[in-house]
Structure 1
Amino acid sequence: MAAQAGAPDSALRDLEEALGLGLTADGDVGDAVAAEGAYYLEQVTITEASEDDYEYEEIPDDNFSIPEGEEDLAKAIQIVQEQATDTQILEQKTILPSRHAVTEVIEDFLCNFLIKMGMTRTLDCFQSEWYELIQKGITELRTVGSVPDVYTQIMLLDNENKNLKKDLKHIKQAADKAREDLLKTQKERDFHRMHHKRIVQEKNKLINDLKGLKLHYASYEPTIRVLHEKHHALLKEKMLTSLERDRAVGQISGLQATLKNIDVGHNFHIPEIKVGHSIEKENMPEGPTQKGLRKAREQNKCKTKMKDNAKV
């Protein structure tokens, strides 16, 4: 009996040393057993039983009513007791049977551990040696027992910790990428903001230049108006001068024809051509053409008088 009782403890110690846990030290186990006595941990799994095949009985409301004419105390107490009994029966029928899950044995625990760590060759060696010992009839291996619930909880917590670390790694990568995108977006924002400010400054400068040009051109409007008036006056003078020139050319051509006739010897009286001047021309000074015409007219008068005197 002592050998059989010490076998599970030694197997548990070997398992703890292999896993590096050290949860059941010799001193701690001795103190705990002496203080509180031996205790065992058992893993329990509660499963939901199928309720599809269960038939519920419906109790009509008339059974709970007190019939008329029998309202004495004894009948009322009896009815209440019957209702309580029916309720207890229904509660007993609806209680689901509890099932305890079988705890994981040590060999399964070790196999799962080796599979998890990827130690396939160690797993093959362990299984071959383990089942070889079982076939030889060594019954002490069967008395090792099951793995306490604490080891299963540690494995579950370890798996959860690894999953959380993976999630944390992915979240950090996503956060780093988001930070880089944010910095890039901020740089682009600053660039576009500076570009916008520069464009606004250039626009304001162009607006000020445009206002200055408008004021500058507005100061030229009186000068342009005076130049237009002078231009119209010069056009009028040009038209008057061209008309006077045409008239003078006609007079000169007539005088030349008269002089030719006089030279030939014909007695022809040169009529005096009177050129009507307008009121505007009287005030204007004589030009070179007018002076030439006046001199030619005086010479013709002198020649005519001399010829008349010679004939007499």
Structure 2
Amino acid sequence: MSQHTAETQENDKKYEVPIDVQRILETNYEIPTFSDDEAGDEADDLTLDVVQKPVIAPRPESAQTVLSDTLVNNATIEDYLKNTLSQLNLVKTLNQFQSEYLEMSRNQSGQRKLQQMNQSNSQLLAENMQLKFQVDQLTLQNEKIVNAAVKAKEQFMKLRQQRDFHRTKHRQVVQEKQVLVNDLRRLREHCQLYQPLIMELNTRYDKLLRQKQLTDIARDKAQNELKKIQMNQPVAEQQEAPKQTTKPKAIQQIAPTSHFKNSYVNPFTGDCELINQTIKYQISGATVKAHDAAISSIAFHRSLQVCTTASADGSFKVFTNFNAPSPNQLMVRGQPHSSYVTGAKFNTNNNFQSILASCAGDGTVKLFNISNQTEVCALKTLPSVQAWGLDWHCEGRVLAVANSDKSVRLYDLNMNQVLQEFDQGEDSQPQSFSSLRGATRAVTNVQFQPYGNLLQVSGADGITRVYDPRANTVISQIKLNNACKACFDISGQYIAAGDLDGNLIMQDMRTSKALFKLQVDTGINCLSFGNKQNGLLIGTKKGMFCSVDGILKQILRTESFQCESCDYNTVSGGFAVGTSDGQMVFLI
């Protein structure tokens, strides 16, 4: 009876349960079921494939393992329960457990109940661990599914944005296409409105052309009839001429033009010190960075130790010569043009040796006084016609300018009058007195014969023509394959011409026969004779060559720059070469 009463009291006792454990026990976990007919987004169907990995189930042995009575360690279980209740801060439950544990340990029945409780606790712990493992596995699987869903959502958003962007672009293209179609239709309708007018103009043109042909035929008939009448008309009797009592005046001859003289004395045709010098065609160590762009023209002064350069950067500069006492010193810099400068040369007259003429791609030709750094005047040129080069006559009065309209214009510049008008403040624009034509393409290079009246003209048509400007006639031609440039030697007796295909021809001006022909493996950009007719400097796209007595020799081979212009110093000897990177290279 007492035993039954004790059991009843034990059943009526209430123990404390942790909040987390109580929440887990009260929660009803339900796995939602999804039907196969569930629809996704109505606008866009996106299928998400989630790879499900199998959950590792615990071994069945661990779930069915029951500890035997001999293996149960009551002290260990008691310590574990006490530590657990103490960590969970269940003070009342801990006290109640200790009191009951002491009572049960006093009697045999209590020990048996204690063993049963320990056995049930072991089973609960094993089951609890199994459930915890399953919860962890489900949590990991849930996290993976959530991550995959987030990534799929981001991908879906990107695809939808791209779709919207391309849809907008497609609409714009369709609208633009429709606008173009409408414009094309309007243009066709507009053209159809002008069709009657065009047909009427064509009819009028044909009618006028027929009238012109009939007029020409009638004119030819009238001229033939007039000739027949003149031939059939009898010759009138000659009347006796009256006797002259005074002596008739001498027949007046046509006065020669004032622009050129009949003959000049060339100081380089005889035996002079400059001609007897020997050029080794060796590159001097000193180079000058003259411009930021290609040097399109370089020219030495006729009597002073200075040279001028013109560049595509829109400026010209005056330097002292490389062999002067103070070499390569910048003296003057000018930028009178609005475009790239194609040529600049000093006046060859000693009285006006400070006058410099320059031309540019904007078609302007100007005179500049380097002594006081002032612009003297601008020559009258045609609009939208580029000037590619210029040269002074040996007297320093006539200036020849090569133009892109297939012509060479000659200007008569009386420098005394020009300077006087400049001093008086008059804005004078000298006009050309003659034009040399005959080229089929743009003229890019001109040069007067040293101490002579002939003028060589070369350009893009591949033909070098030698003109006599006094009669405006061509006296000699050198035909090449491509755009070419030419130059006279200092004696004026020989001329050399080379083109962009590497062909070189030297000709005797007295006989108009070719002395020799050479072939260079690259395009020729510039030529210049030395102190002798058999010494020729050749500037190409890939270096420099020289020709001595018809033998070709390579001086420099390079890919870093091209030779754009060159000139020979008649004062002290030596060559100067202008390159495509704005440097001046000197040869001695």
Q: Give your verdict on TM over 0.5.
A: no
Looking at CA atoms only, which structure, 1 or 2, has the larger radius of gyration?
1
Write 1 or 2 for the structure with the bigger share of strand: 2
Normalised to the residue count of structure 1, the TM-score between the two structures is 0.40
Q: Say which structure, 1 or 2, has more relative contact order (CA 8 Å, 6+ apart).
A: 1
Write 1 or 2 for the structure with the bigger share of helix: 1
